[in-house]
A and B are shown apart, each in its own frame.
Chain A
Amino acid sequence: MSKEEILEVKNLSTTFRTERGDLKAIDGVSFEVYKGEILGVVGESGCGKSVTSQSILRLYDEKYTAKYDGEILLDGKNIFDIPLKKMQEIRGAKISMVFQDALSSLNPVLKIGDQIMEPLRIHQKLGKKEARERTLEMLRLVGIPAPDKRIDQYPHELSGGMRQRVMIAIALACRPQLLIADEPTTALDVTIQAQIMDLIVDLNKKLDMGVILITHDLAVVAETCSRVVVMYLGQIVEEADVNDIFDNPKHPYTLGLIKSIPRLDGDPNERLYMIKGTVPLLNQIPNGCRFAPRCPYATDKCRTNMPELKAVSPTQKVRCWMVEE
């Protein structure tokens, strides 16, 4: 089965200029997203998940704060070659994004209908009447009851789950090829989280788009994603199908993450595994393998030489010396 590639990230690095010097938040990240799949990006806070996603949309100010390297290919064209002004034609139309906190991402003084209409009017140049029709259709699609009433309400009149549905409606209004969902359910209750994740899975199938799901919740990944990228300190340490990640993790960091969460079907008398230490700061990146100081299997080689991300099977790539030997 050949899969249609939507987006290819090649050797992406994002460097921030700060008072304390340049900080490389992402260092040489490469992955692909295919049509119709949900790609999970996992890792702890500060490992570069969100920076990766925001770099794909070039959301950081390139003049003063950030510097990008590498390539991001959308339909074979490098996003970094497009003039910044033309980026508007991609954001929201071809690639769109859903953020974590729906309340602060929605404009509190605009009716939700107007906010969903905005991308339709700008990108697809629809008239008012047509745009309203499409907006009602979108509200129905994301499962908001009584759409003709809700369309004229303000964000504060909706519950957290509803707001996140509106965010998804805005993101999908122009039928993008790729949806980036950055921790879309972190602020929500489990019952609402389940509904929103079901909606994302359902729309992913219905609209045949690619989804990048950024999350720190491995349980959500296990239930929704088809492929997973594990990040640590700005690098990909493992990439594999979801079953391989959980059944056959090769990188000690992936293994540590999986073992450290309590599982519903786990034994409560067994102690939880602990990854020792914490994620280092970006200006204290260790030599050699970045995970070596926290890794239980680290050798002298790990502390001096950086391993490459290497394929161990057609679907699994790992950045670890143990696997190479």
Chain B
Amino acid sequence: MEEKKVVLSSEHVSQFFPIKNGFGQVVNYVKAVDGVTLELHEGETYGLVGETGCGKSTLGRTLIRLLEPTEGNVVLNGEDISHLSEKEMRKYRKEVQMVFQDPYTSLNPRQKVGDILMEVLEIHGVKDKDERMEIAMKMLAKVGLRPEHFYRYPHEFSGGQRQRVGLARALILNPKVIICDEPVSALDVSIQAQIINLLQDLQKEDKLSYLFIAHDMSVVKYISDRIGVMYLGHLMEEAETEELFSNTLHPYAQALLSAVPNANPHEEKQRIVLEGDLPSPINPPTGCVFHTRCPYAKAICSEKIPVLKSVNEKHKVACLLYDKDLNPDAE
């Protein structure tokens, strides 16, 4: 098999947020992302799923270096960008851009759409105003907006159009990677379909790579080539889309997928209901973070920390049930 080019990767990335007491002393940490390793290949869509609070958005923000990782490295095109300063980061910003969830709050209400787009170009060194305008106009056409929209304010647009503006802003610097943080979850189904189709068209045109963060499984399944499942800051399972759905290995991923409703009234589904609530990321459980809710948990699960290991070339899982090295009783 041909080796795929890795454009962006994280190596054991952790993101801990300090909790301070009244005297400003750090008393504990919120372990939002804990040792996540993943690779994003050129031209692929990597879906990142998990429940609220599992750290998927934090990971996205760390990969784009809105946050500096507490531990581990973020590597872009072979260069380590994890601890660069704001100034040094600037030349890499062109490469990785982000589309946010809420199209209503991620655009400045006091700037016209044209200015929103041209500001990006100005910062990144396009000096000539006419040139900036020309590029911005082209971008508007590319995302399916009309030239007159250049002179309008964000409030004059519908949700779907605003998300198109957000996309135009992300694309205007010709990035290689776009991190999409729940780009369609605030939109109606008919608009959602328009944006998803647009994302796919743009990907084909420019060989873009997407990190697609979402909680809607059917959308993620539709758009992704590979999917990673996160739980409490850890990556539990990673596989190619078809493989993940046909051969789900991790008990958490099994429960998550079984909860997804399908738009087919004839289908009877067996749901796996998880006991209890999500543990706090301040004091995550010892061993495997999922063992407190896992229906198959054994004594060893609370002692040893599972690592993400390949079960075949398309599939990785972090679970002691499948790891013979750490757990002699594994299948």
A216 at the interface (CB under 8 A from B): yes
Query: Within the assembled complex, what's the spacing in Å between the Cα atoms of A97 and B173?
Result: 49
* Set B158, B193, B222, B258: member contacting A273, Cβ < 8 A: B193
6 A-B pairs whose Cβ atoms sit less than 8 Å apart in the complex: A159-B277, A190-B216, A195-B273, A223-B269, A257-B189, A271-B197
Q: Which parts of A253-274 form the interface with B (CB within 8 Å)?
A: 256-258, 260-266, 268, 271-274
Q: Name the residue among A191, A192, A246, A279 with the largest chain B CB count within 10 angstroms.
A: A191
The answer on a CB contact under 8 Å between B241 and A268 is: yes
Is the C-beta of A217 less than 8 angstroms from some C-beta in chain B? Answer: yes
- Of residues 151 through 207 on chain B, the ones whose CB sits less than 8 Å from some CB of chain A are 158, 160, 188-194, 196-197, 200
Out of A222, A242, A260, name the residue touching B192 (CB < 8 Å): A260
Complex contacts, B265 vs chain A, CB 8 Å: 222-223, 242-243, 245-246
Contact of B193 with A246 in the complex, beta carbons under 8 Å: no
A243 touches B266 (CB 8 A): yes
User: CB-CB < 8 A to B274: which residues of A?
Assistant: 191
- Asked whether A190 and B215 contact (CB < 8 A) given A45-B188, A272-B222, the answer is yes
Interface residues of A in 53-105 (CB under 8 A from B): none
> What is the CA–CA distance of A268 and B196 in the complex, to the nearest angstrom?
12
B245 within 8 A of A: yes
Q: A194-B271, A278-B160 are in contact. Are A223 and B190 (CB under 8 A)?
A: no
Q: Across the interface, do A274 and B277 meet the contact criterion of CB distance under 8 Å?
A: no
B262 contacts A223, CB within 8 Å?
Answer: yes
Chain B interface residue count: which class? 35 or more
Which B residue sits closest to A220, measured CB to CB?
B261
Are B263 and A258 within 8 A (Cβ)? yes
Residues of B contacting A217 with CB < 8 Å? 261
- Residues of chain B touching chain A, judged by Cβ–Cβ distance below 8 Å, are 51-52, 158, 160, 188-194, 196-197, 200, 215-219, 221-223, 241, 245, 255-256, 258-267, 269, 271, 273-274, 277-278
A153 on interface, CB distance cutoff 8 Å = no
- Given A260-B190, A264-B221, A271-B197, is A190 in contact with B263 using a C-beta cutoff of 8 Å? no
A135 to B196, CA, bound (A): 46
Cross-chain contact B245 with A264 (CB below 8 angstroms): yes
Interface contact A262-B221, CB-CB below 8 Å:
yes
In the assembled complex, the CB of A65 is this many whole angstroms from the nearest CB of chain B, namely: 23
8 Å CB contact of A278 from B158, B219, B261, B262: B158
Instruction: State whether the Cβ of A275 lies closer than 8 Å to any Cβ in chain B.
Output: yes
Do A222 and B263 contact each other (CB < 8 Å), given the known contacts A44-B188, A260-B192, A266-B222? yes
- For chain A, the count of residues having a C-beta within 8 Å of the partner chain is 44
User: In the assembled complex, which residues on chain B have CB atoms less than 8 Å from the CB atom of A221?
Assistant: 263
Task: From A44, A190, A261, A274, give the contact of B256 (CB < 8 A).
Answer: A190
**Which residues from A are CB-within-8-Å of B277?**
159, 161
B218 adjacent to A191 (CB under 8 Å): no
- In the complex, A193→B255 CA distance in Å? 13
A198 CB–B CB distance under 8 Å: yes
A275 to B218, CA, bound (A): 19
> A272 to chain B: which residues have CB within 8 Å?
193, 196-197, 222
Are A264 and B188 also in contact (CB < 8 A) when A272-B193, A278-B158 are?
A: no
What distance in Å separates the Cβ of A115 from its nearest Cβ neighbour in chain B?
21
Q: Which of B158, B194, B218 contacts A261 (CB 8 A)?
A: B218
Given A195-B273, A264-B217, residue A274 in contact with residue B194 (CB < 8 A)? yes
Nearest residue, chain B, Cβ from A264: B262
A295 close to B (CB within 8 Å): no
Interchain nearest-CB distance for B144 vs A (Å): 11
User: Which residues of chain A are near B191, meaning CB under 8 Å?
Assistant: 278
Q: Is A322 an interface residue (CB 8 A)?
A: no
Contact check: which of B158, B196, B259 meets A190 at CB < 8 Å? Answer: B259
The answer, among B52, B190, B263, for a CB contact under 8 Å with A246, is: B263
Apart from A219-B260, A222-B262, 15 more pairs, CB < 8 Å: A189-B51, A190-B215, A190-B261, A218-B189, A219-B218, A222-B264, A223-B261, A242-B265, A256-B190, A260-B189, A263-B218, A264-B260, A266-B222, A268-B241, A278-B191
Q: Is the CB of A261 within 8 A of B197?
A: no
Task: List the A side residues contacting B245 at CB < 8 Å.
Answer: 264
**Which residues of the other chain, B, contact A197 by a CB distance below 8 angstroms?**
261
Report the separation of the CA atoms of residues A5 and B318 in the bound assembly, to the nearest whole angstrom.
53
**Cα(A202)–Cα(B289), bound, Å:** 31
Nearest-CB residue, chain A, relative to B194: A274
The listed residue (A192, A242, A245, A275) touching B190 by CB distance below 8 A is: A275
Chain A residues contacting B267 (CB-CB under 8 Å) are 222
Q: Nearest chain-A residue to B260 (Cβ)?
A: A190
Chain A residues contacting B160 (CB-CB under 8 Å) are: 278
Q: Which of B190, B196, B222 contacts A44 (CB 8 A)?
A: B190
Which B residues are in CB contact (< 8 Å) with A159? 277-278
A residues near B200, Cβ cutoff 8 Å: 271
A271 and B201 alpha carbons, distance in the complex (Å): 10
The one of B241, B256, B264, B266 in contact with A191, judged by C-beta atoms closer than 8 angstroms, is B256
Nearest residue, chain B, Cβ from A259: B193
Once A194-B271, A278-B160 are accepted as A-B contacts, the answer to whether A262 and B218 lie under 8 Å apart by CB is yes
Residues of chain B with a CB closer than 8 A to A220's CB: 261
Whole-angstrom CA separation of A33 from B95 in the bound complex: 55
Question: Do residues B197 and A274 form an inter-chain contact, with CB atoms below 8 A?
Answer: yes
Q: How far is the CA of A193 from the CA of B29 in the complex (A)?
A: 30
Query: Would you give the shortest CB distance from B226 to chain A, in whole angstroms?
Result: 12
Residues of B within 8 A of A246 (CB): 263-265
B125 to chain A, nearest CB (A): 37
Determine if B193 and A264 form an interchain contact, defined as CB atoms under 8 angstroms apart.
Answer: no
Interface string of A11-28 (1 = CB under 8 A from B): 000000000000000000
A59 to B311, CA, bound (A): 57
Pairwise interchain contact A218-B263, C-beta atoms closer than 8 A: yes
CB-defined contacts of B259 to chain A, threshold 8 Å: 190-191, 193-194
Q: Which residue of A lies closest to B221 (CB)?
A: A264
